Amino acid sequence: ETGVTQTPRHLVMGMTNKKSLKCEQHLGHNAMYWYKQSAKKPLELMFVYSLEERVENNSVPSRFSPECPNSSHLFLHLHTLQPEDSALYLCASSREPGVLTGQYFGPGTRLTVL
């Protein structure tokens, strides 16, 4: 399934670095999501975008900054991260922002913060 792609697949960064994660969906969907998946913890929703407008910010620290320039692309800009931010970051999309349709996930970016 290549409907949702994410780059890079792996990223190692220091606490003072600035990096960006990229997500692209080829499904014609109108909603996109960022999730964080840490070891032994449930998937946590971070942000929801509907038609390029942010509609949900799940109490995420400001060192994570999302950007949605169009309905096919979603970025997560990272700066001054902490080691506890190391996790798998998953992007997802759905036809509409409501939950009557399934969300389709990308392969994720494995982030390690040193």
For binding to other proteins (CB under 8 A), which residues are involved?
A: 1, 4, 31, 33, 40-45, 48, 50, 55-56, 58, 90, 94, 96-100, 102-108
Distance CA(55)–CA(14), nearest Å, equals: 30
Q: How far is the CB of 104 from other proteins (least distance, A)?
A: 7
Task: Please check whether residue 106 is in contact with residue 5, taking contact to mean a CB–CB distance below 8 angstroms.
Answer: yes
Residue 76: which of 42, 106, 39 has the closest Cα? 106
Q: Tell me the closest approach of the beta carbon of residue 84 to other proteins, in angstroms.
A: 18
| CA separation for the pair 93, 91 (Å, rounded) | 7
* Shortest Å, Cβ 16 to other proteins: 29
Residue 79 or 104: the one with the smaller Cβ distance to other proteins is 104
